A and B are shown apart, each in its own frame.
Chain A
Amino acid sequence: MKELLVVGKDAIRVDALEKVTGRAKYVADFNEPRLYAKVLRSPHAHARIIQIDTSRAEKLLGVRGIVRPEDAPSTRMGFVVCADRQVLPISGIVRYIGEPVAVVVADSPEIAEEALELIEVKYEVLPAVFDSEEAMQKDCPVVLHPGKNTYGLATKFGPKLERDIPNVCTVFRIRKGDIEKAFREADVIVENRYSFDGGSQGRAERYVVDGWVESDGTLTVRTARHRMWGCHGWLCSVFGLPPSKVRVMKPYVGGSFGGKGSPMVEALALLAAMKTGRRVRLEYTKEEEFFDTSPRPSIIVYIKDGVKRDGTLVARQTRFIINIGAYGSDGGAISTISCLTGILSCYNIPNWYSDSFTVYTNNPPTGTMRGVEAPQGNWAIESNIDCIAHQLGMDPLEFRMRNLVKEGDTSAFGQVLHHIFPRECLEKATELLEWGKKSEEKDKWKKGKGLAIGNYRPNPAWPSAAVVKVFQDGAIEVRIGTDEVGQGLLTVIAQIVAEQFKVPMDKILDKIKVVHGDTLYTPWDFASAASRSTWMTGNAVIRACQDAKQKIFALAASKFEASPNDLEMTGGKVYHKDLPERAIRLSDLFRFGVANEIGEILGTAGYEAEHTDADPDTGYSPQGAPSWSYLVYGAEVGVNTETGEVKVLKVSWAVDIGQPINWKMCEGQVEGSIGMGIGSALYERFEVSNGKILNPNLVTYRIPTFMECPTGQNVKGASVGFPHPDGPYGAKALGEMGLVPFSAAIGNAVYDAIRVRMTDAPLTRERVFKALQEAKKLSS
């Protein structure tokens, strides 16, 4: 591969200076005159609204308007799969504790809060169901969405709507091989039930939207979310408006990690703005942020694996039951397929039957969070892999190597895999952790090492687009529709553009500007989601740069008496490739900033990755993803046998992500995933009772602090493998993958330490303590 100028180097983030000086603006930093909105919510998990009496609230001085259900459009909206949600319950039915019922708009947030307490709502309480396995019974007396089969199927991608079981939203199946025969021929069968509690993205910034109606009637929001263009599309369909009449802006955002499925908050802010004729800020409290921004669902996984005595995996049967809460449209509905995304390209398994279900219950609606249940599916499957290995008396590393896919093998969805390096990941991660070497133990602290592998891919279901404008001084503006949410997208794109135009690293901030975060100025792109931005937007940007260069070379060709194909460009100068010393400045091609008849030099491009959608009845998808990335974690834990406390002592990791565009930022993605993984593996869980999340706060929803996370020499990572021919400069996807195999690595390490298999995550102290006690009882 040609020597790269900027790609592959640790370019300083283009937004670092703004952020470290406090100048970077997030939604709440904009301080235009405004009113404030607060949401009135249902206290019941399932109820019919009989009457809403706002008379006392309206009399409070400072209240400027109250949005009621009848003020909202009746359109059902949906993310990806099904459209089952209205902005406000016009139908009169509320389906979860906390469902928005009305919105108060007032001069200050304090007055709005007081007004909420003055609204009286009469409800007829209806029976509710909270347990997913109960709700998915065909004869479950509580049916959340009787009209489910009339809801639209929003897209062709992914799972399908379930028609016959009332409370099942979507289903997805794998039917590969002959499962009965395979189990008959297996020597050893390992069956287990795993579970993973629900949790929160836990981002630092709370959901906040400023909404207003522009003087020309355009509905405008400035919002703290990702999926800017997705939000735009939904708002258009919800309000019945053409694309030019809705504008969505998204400045810097304080973390995303998924969630925020349906544009509820944007729609409510706009309704408040329309009601009062003023700009309105709707800012969620931290509690609302926890339970009402589409957190990740809880899941139960039944798994039965069959293996030959020599360690060859021959059969797998899995059943995933995902408790998505009251609505699937916030994103929970796609979990039926995504729960497999983190493992389906790791092992050769000739026979696999799987059924996954997303189930409606009267819990707060869930959505996507980093991996979209792929981490949870991986938790079950990679834990079970270790179980099998131990049952056979095999080293878990050796067992994985034996069954691992290699170049030319097939994924569980039937895709032939190319340019993959999972074996190298296993080798490197275990080397960094000193696999096989037992650490010294002291007193009641036992130590153990575990490993797990995961895979991921950039979701190819939607195309990307990019626009590149070249200025006469050689400055370049690139416009993208995906979202910078902290992951470093702007820097990745800036580096790609810099590489295309040969702008040196120390000139990137001067010469390259990434325009983003505004539907008025950027081309459509689905979202920074599903780990797709580097691959999809990156490739679109490369093509847009090439388009711009073609236009420049066509303009310049006459000055060189050469063909455009012989020209190159660097540092704002164009030259014949054989005569680099005779260059002409870009500015010589312009007059008053106009590049003769073409006006501006604009490169535009779309990019689409060839792909097939998975057949929801068999899972077959021969071109499911344009590339597959891999990550292996090795983890060392300490377990306090007196208290059940688990401490993560060391983490080693290796990734196969092709050519990293910016390795420091890649490290940041994995290290951040480790922090998040420690949370979900050990500390973070929603405590839910009768549809109420009891701990929607940072005190008892325990996000890891500095003290819970290994740092310095205790975290070691590396990149393995080679660039992928189809990735932008060979890069593959990474964003979500870091979370995928982490919990399983911890569970496997805990097993190594105390010889007790934990099947329910997170591994809270009390769960580990109880498991230790039961193991003691069994052995005595």
Chain B
Amino acid sequence: MLRVNGEDYEIFTDSWKTLERVLRDDLGLTGVKEGCNTGNCGVCTVLIDGKAVKSCLVLASQVQGKDILTIEGLSKHGLHPLQQAFIDYFAIQCGFCTPGMVLAAKALLDENPNPTEEEVKLGLSGNLCRCTGYVKIVEAILAAAEMMRKEV
């Protein structure tokens, strides 16, 4: 039994399937991307009970009873400020790292709503991006953080 984006799913699958494969193949949540498949790029990041985890290094059976959030869950009721900021600040190029990046950023901001530039960079050092050189991603996250602080 998996709880993903607020909904419960009963899955029957091979014991060696990772959470990332189950989310993509069994639940059709292809917003979860598979990057290196060995836990070194962060592209597959999802949130488990609010914490950023690389879903390619988690066995699906290990997350029963936990709350899993994918990019689809974040987009359910309109765009999260981070998503809007990524669009507005041109933080997306090929888009492959984007879902994992946005979720990792959300986990960071949920824990630390007023991060410095250095804290953003350290907190996201597990997410690689080859297209942007990170400049606009940092801008977008800081802008989203400011926006989210204003809303509170």
Contacts and interface: CB of A to CB of B under 8 A. Distances in A.
A and B touching (Cβ–Cβ under 8 A): yes
Contacts of B127: 705-706
Nearest to A286: B36
Interface stretch (A45-53, A71-79, A672-680): A672-680
Interface in B113-149: 117, 120-122, 124-139
B34 A28 contact: yes
B30 interface: yes
Interface in A480-534: 485-488
A339 interface: no
A20 B95 contact: yes
B37 interface: yes
Nearest to B128: A703
A285 interface: yes
A252 B35 CA distance: 15
B72 interface: yes
Given A22-B71, A204-B96, A668-B90, A711 B135 contact: yes
Q: Is the interface of A mostly helix, strand, loop or mixed?
A: loop
A24 B133 contact: no
Given A22-B30, A206-B36, A13 B87 contact: yes
19 contacts: A13-B87, A15-B95, A19-B98, A20-B79, A21-B72, A22-B29, A22-B99, A25-B30, A28-B30, A204-B128, A206-B36, A286-B37, A486-B95, A671-B132, A672-B132, A673-B133, A697-B40, A706-B120, A711-B138
Contacts of B38: 286, 697-698
Contacts of A485: 94
Contacts of B102: 20
Interface in B17-75: 24-25, 28-38, 40-41, 43, 70-72, 75
A676 B36 contact: no
B97 interface: yes
Given A21-B71, A698-B128, A255 B31 contact: no
A707 B96 contact: no
Contact of A12 (B41, B70, B88, B135): B88
Contacts of B34: 28, 206
A675 B133 CA distance: 4
A704 to B, nearest CB: 8
Could you say which interface size class chain B belongs to?
35 or more
A668 B131 contact: yes
B128 A488 contact: no
Interface of B: 16, 24-25, 28-38, 40-41, 43, 70-72, 75, 79, 83, 86-88, 90, 92-99, 102, 117, 120-122, 124-139
A285 B37 CA distance: 8
A254 B96 contact: yes
Interface string A255-289: 11100000000000000000000000000011000
Given A676-B133, A706-B138, A698 B36 contact: yes
B94 A254 contact: yes
Given A255-B130, A709-B135, A20 B87 contact: yes
Contacts of A715: 133, 135
A10 B87 CA distance: 12
Given A19-B92, A31-B25, A675-B130, A706 B124 contact: yes
Contacts of A613: none
A201 B93 CA distance: 15
A154 interface: no
Contact of A204 (B92, B97, B126, B133): B97
A712 interface: yes
Contacts of B124: 706
Contacts of A712: 117, 135, 138-139
Contacts of B32: 22
B41 A698 contact: yes
A253 interface: yes
B132 A668 contact: yes
A239 interface: no
A709 B130 contact: no
A435 interface: no
Contacts of A674: 133, 135
B88 A205 contact: no
Question: 6 smallest A-B Cβ distances: which pairs?
Answer: A22-B31, A486-B94, A19-B95, A254-B96, A675-B133, A698-B40
A208 B92 CA distance: 22
A26 interface: yes
A486 B36 CA distance: 18
B30 A31 contact: yes
A136 B90 CA distance: 47
A16 B130 contact: no
Interface in A642-701: 664-665, 667-668, 671-676, 697-699
A28 B34 CA distance: 9
B121 A706 contact: yes
A608 interface: no
A29 interface: yes
Nearest to B29: A22
B79 A21 contact: yes
Nearest to A203: B130
Interface in A1-55: 10, 12-13, 15-26, 28-29, 31
A703 B134 CA distance: 12
Interface string A197-224: 0000111111000000000000000000
A204 B86 CA distance: 18
A110 interface: yes
Contacts of B126: 705
Contacts of A254: 33, 94-97
Interface in A124-151: none
Given A664-B90, A671-B132, A711-B138, A21 B117 contact: no
A662 to B, nearest CB: 9
Contacts of B24: 28-29, 31
A352 B97 CA distance: 45
Interface string A280-320: 00000110000000000000000000000000000000000
B31 A23 contact: yes
Contact of A253 (B41, B94, B121): B94
A546 B149 CA distance: 49
Contacts of A711: 117, 121, 134-135, 138-139
Given A252-B95, A668-B93, A703 B130 contact: yes
A252 B94 contact: yes
Contacts of A28: 24, 30, 34
Contacts of B137: 706
* Most chain B beta-carbon contacts within 10 A, residue among A13, A15, A285, A671: A671
B100 to A, nearest CB: 10
Given A31-B28, A675-B134, A676-B130, 7 more contacts: A13-B90, A19-B92, A22-B70, A110-B16, A204-B97, A257-B130, A286-B38
Contacts of B72: 21-22
Contacts of B132: 668, 671-672, 675
Contact of B96 (A18, A205, A664, A699): A205
Interface string A703-722: 10111010110010000000
A244 to B, nearest CB: 31
A205 B138 contact: no
Given A676-B133, A709-B134, A712-B139, A20 B98 contact: yes
A19 B132 CA distance: 14
Contacts of B128: 204, 698, 703, 705
Contact of B136 (A20, A22, A201, A668): A668
A674 B130 CA distance: 10
Contacts of A13: 87, 90, 92
A556 to B, nearest CB: 37
B94 A205 contact: yes
Contacts of B30: 22, 25, 28-29, 31
A703 B93 CA distance: 17
